[in-house]
Structure 1
């Protein structure tokens, strides 16, 4: 749809970029228009595609994602930027805020973590398009309030999940995840006595329902490992 928010995904790891792009595509109102894996590609693709939003990794093979962010935000058609990085140092966070990044999401994160921020951005983006030439202070307060993702349920809510309403296989898989935590689909399949494909389908349903969270565990090489835990 032409009204969808266009997104450019920037990450040095091709597999991680694909996962993040998949996350974005699952959120209504968003459309991934491209991926970039280097600083140079990010600048070139942003100029070519003019995305509304960029998911920006910091550690890129030929530069710093925050320097790329500085370049993009200084351009004539500046996109909004959400930083998604394993960087946890205060300097990176401070620079991202000073540059004007709308959010900073620390890796590893699950679909729900990103979706909450995308939904908040979508609401603010829609509201900004409805504001006349001059905004009132109420308009400003409303926009900045919308940029904050809605808080999730308190920890007690996760502990009181009524699994009796789940289908038997989903309940079995949920119980395995709840009992172990940080498990892979293979771990679940082994402990539950089901096939890996069945475990994977059940985990995907539980994640989409917000009962479990998916995290990407990064090693030194290869694809990131998918690990599941109960949402708290």
Structure 2
């Protein structure tokens, strides 16, 4: 477990990042820290450390990986509900099976984000969650069904409107995954648009559009590929962590 960050300020949402891969945990914490209104108070790498941290520190929301080395993330959710803890959970997981999704919903998970994801995807979910908390904060007035429906609707807005025209979230996730896998295999070597296109079953032009969007949104950087004959080539590297 890393050391706890400074205590969140008044009105800030205190976040615990639970992720078994240290580099990924750092990347997720960095992402959260870039969204106004949120403060990461700690990162842990397993379920036991997560429960210990939650007992000792104020936490409003847990960014929770489900595939932990000592327990499934759903077990943490069940423990929190049994303890009646006033903590919300946003699941961050590669689990796409329907039983996991249903179990997460039944245990009160407020958002479910599939890995790999971009900063923009997480930002959209966090902003929705922040707006939800603001609408249902202590002392807020609920006059009727419409107010409740509006509050819950903030959690269910699609994030597609933040993408440029012609881009889809599913393909963006595929391109992101290819770059992240390349980083894991060879941290100092990126991929060209053609190489990404080949691995993603896209055209080169389409792959380049997604890559340039990832550069603009933050997690990817361009680099010039040296040491090859002919025209210099641009490669793209996932550098979010």
Does the C-alpha gap of structure 1 residues 124 and 156 become closer, same or farther in structure 2, counting only changes over 3 Å? closer
Which residue is 1:16 aligned to?
Answer: 24
Contact residue 33 and residue 51 of structure 1 kept, 8 A: yes
Unaligned runs of 5+ in 2: 1-8, 168-174, 183-187, 195-210, 221-236
Query: Is it true that 1:187 corresponds to 2:190 in the alignment?
Result: yes
TM-score of the two chains, using structure 1 as the length reference:
0.69
Contact residue 121 and residue 159 of structure 2 kept, 8 A: no
Query: Is it true that 1:105 corresponds to 2:113 in the alignment?
Result: yes
Q: CA deviation at 1:76?
A: 3.9
Q: CA deviation at 1:74?
A: 2.8
Q: CA deviation at 1:72?
A: 1.4
Query: Is it true that 1:51 corresponds to 2:59 in the alignment?
Result: yes
State the distance in 1 between where 2:147 and 2:50 align. 32
Does the C-alpha gap of structure 1 residues 156 and 98 become closer, same or farther in structure 2, counting only changes over 3 Å? same
Does the C-alpha gap of structure 1 residues 155 and 71 become closer, same or farther in structure 2, counting only changes over 3 Å? closer
Does the C-alpha gap of structure 1 residues 187 and 120 become closer, same or farther in structure 2, counting only changes over 3 Å? same
Q: CA deviation at 1:187?
A: 3.1
Q: CA deviation at 1:151?
A: 3.6
Does the C-alpha gap of structure 1 residues 190 and 152 become closer, same or farther in structure 2, counting only changes over 3 Å? closer
Which residue is 2:151 aligned to?
Answer: 143
TM-score of the two chains, using structure 2 as the length reference:
0.66
Secondary structure of 1:100's partner? coil
Q: CA deviation at 1:70?
A: 1.1
Does the C-alpha gap of structure 1 residues 130 and 62 become closer, same or farther in structure 2, counting only changes over 3 Å? closer
* C-alpha RMSD of matched pairs (Å): 3.3
Secondary structure of 2:79's partner? helix
Query: Is it true that 1:28 corresponds to 2:36 in the alignment?
Result: yes
State the distance in 2 between where 1:32 and 1:156 align. 29
Does the C-alpha gap of structure 1 residues 2 and 92 become closer, same or farther in structure 2, counting only changes over 3 Å? same
Q: CA deviation at 1:135?
A: 5.1
Does the C-alpha gap of structure 1 residues 186 and 46 become closer, same or farther in structure 2, counting only changes over 3 Å? same
Q: CA deviation at 1:152?
A: 2.3
State the distance in 1 between where 2:144 and 2:89 align. 25
Q: Count residues in correspondence.
A: 186
Does the C-alpha gap of structure 1 residues 154 and 74 become closer, same or farther in structure 2, counting only changes over 3 Å? same
Secondary structure of 1:23's partner? helix
Does the C-alpha gap of structure 1 residues 65 and 2 become closer, same or farther in structure 2, counting only changes over 3 Å? same
Q: How does 1:1-232 map to 2 (within 5 A)?
A: 1-129=9-137, 132=140, 136-153=144-161, 157-158=165-166, 182-183=178-179, 186-187=189-190, 207=214, 209-210=216-217, 227=238
State the distance in 2 between where 1:79 and 1:147 align. 16
